[in-house]
Amino acid sequence: MHSQNITHRDLKPENILLESKDLDKLDVKIADFGFSCFFDPNKGLDLVLGSPLYMAPEIIEISEKISTSKLYNEKVDLWSLGVICYMLLTGRNPFPGKNKAEVKQLIISKDIDYTKEYLKVLSKEAKDFL
């Protein structure tokens, strides 16, 4: 997708589908391209959209007017995948705010705390991946 200069901008578990229940045919499909767009790798994007829990810090900084000159690129999709992987590996939300504003604040300010009990059981490779 990115090699074709397309960014999704709303990756979340609901938008990742399996083609079949057959365990020998685990073809993954990405759905809901309503927020996707073509991008110019030499320019950035500045439109704020997506689901707050999966938004990259760059998008939040634009939405909260923390940075008016900052733009984002297709790598915001990788951030979203990181959040999804965290949830799959731990069964927990990495940014457990009580409301959207608190979630956004945690996204731009919180580091992963690897001393949490539920993260201690992860392999070094899983922690490095996150």
pLDDT < 50 regions, the chain: none
C-alpha dihedral, 2 to 92 to 52 to 43, nearest 10°:
-30
Q: How many folded domains does the chain comprise?
A: 1
Q: How does pLDDT run across 55-78, given as a tens digit for each residue?
A: 999 999 988 877 666 889 999 999
Cα–Cα distance measured from residue 39 to residue 60, given in angstroms and rounded to the nearest whole number: 19
Q: Read out DSSP for 59-78? A: HHHHHTTS-SS--B-TTHHH
Q: Is 77 a catalytic residue?
A: no
- Output the domain CATH number for residue 57: 1.10.510.10
Sequence-distant (6+) residues with CB within 8 A of 45 are: 7, 9, 37, 39, 71, 72, 73
Q: Which structural domain range is residue 21 located in?
A: 2-129
Cα–Cα distance measured from residue 31 to residue 91, given in angstroms and rounded to the nearest whole number: 22
